Amino acid sequence: AKAIAMVHNETSAAIRNPVEKVAELAKKHGALFIMDAITTVGGDTVLVDEWGVDIAFMGSQKCIAAPPGLSAITISDAAWDAMVDNRPYYLDLKAYRKSGSNNPSQTPYTPGVPLFCAMLEALRIVQEEGMEKRKYRHSRGAAAVRAAAKALNIELFPRIDQYHSYSNTVTAMNIPQGITDKQLRGEMLDMNIQISGGQAHLKGKIFRIGSMGNFTATDMITTISTLELVLHRHGLIDNIGEGVEAAHKELEKKA
């Protein structure tokens, strides 16, 4: 293979893939490694040089919490060398590289200027918080949801093996017996809390709670509290507050 591609953080299943190991395998066999870091940059550790990632890209609307519409990309020397002179009509990376080397740096085509301004402000917010603190906040948010799930006897999805780990930016859980996806998410939405369901073959089987971007501990507690109210309404839990208490303990942990 000339290249191997992998998603770092698969939000549809709420797992992190072993990109470091796969990058090593790619190099061992002389292949480029391409990493989708859309839902980890700004919320988890991403080390493209140390891991040997040749191409990585992110989305402005995820952990960075800017409006959708922009993507940042990193390209190694090996990846540049592998690019053929078959100029595309769109996203000509060589044209971007040439314009970017100008002084002042430019884009080769007219960009979405308001999006650039919004992205700049979002990055200022990231810088103000500090990347390590931001990553820890994301990890505590996800840990809080997992702790609440355990306290409420909700099974996490999927089962993790020795190669994978749970996502720090979204948590997936199996929908408990006795309630439907429509009831669970619909009744939470009626209380102004929106969570996500499963996709494709997982539709109607799992639900997902995000811990991504500029969320707060209050956001997480409010979401879990609302989840408890719906579960209690359907007779699936006896006591309200156990999930919130478990989540609170995780959120209060210091780095």
Domain ranges of the chain: 3-129, 131-251
- Dump pLDDT digits (tens) for 141-167: 999 999 999 999 999 999 999 999 999
**C-alpha closest to that of 247 among 152, 168, 181:** 152
Is-same-fold flag (3-129; 131-251)? Answer: no
Which fold, 3-129?
A: Aspartate Aminotransferase; domain 2 (3.40.640)
What proportion of the chain, given as a percentage, has pLDDT over 70?
A: 100
Mean pLDDT of the chain: 96
0.85 surpassed by pTM: yes
What's the whole-number mean pLDDT along residues 91-117?
93
Choose between 21 and 91: higher pLDDT: 21
What's the confidence (pLDDT) of residue 91? Answer: 84
Q: Which residues are paired to 105 by β-bridges?
A: none
CATH number of 131-251: 3.90.1150.10
- Dump pLDDT digits (tens) for 203-228: 999 999 999 999 999 999 999 999 99
Tokens of 190: 């009626």
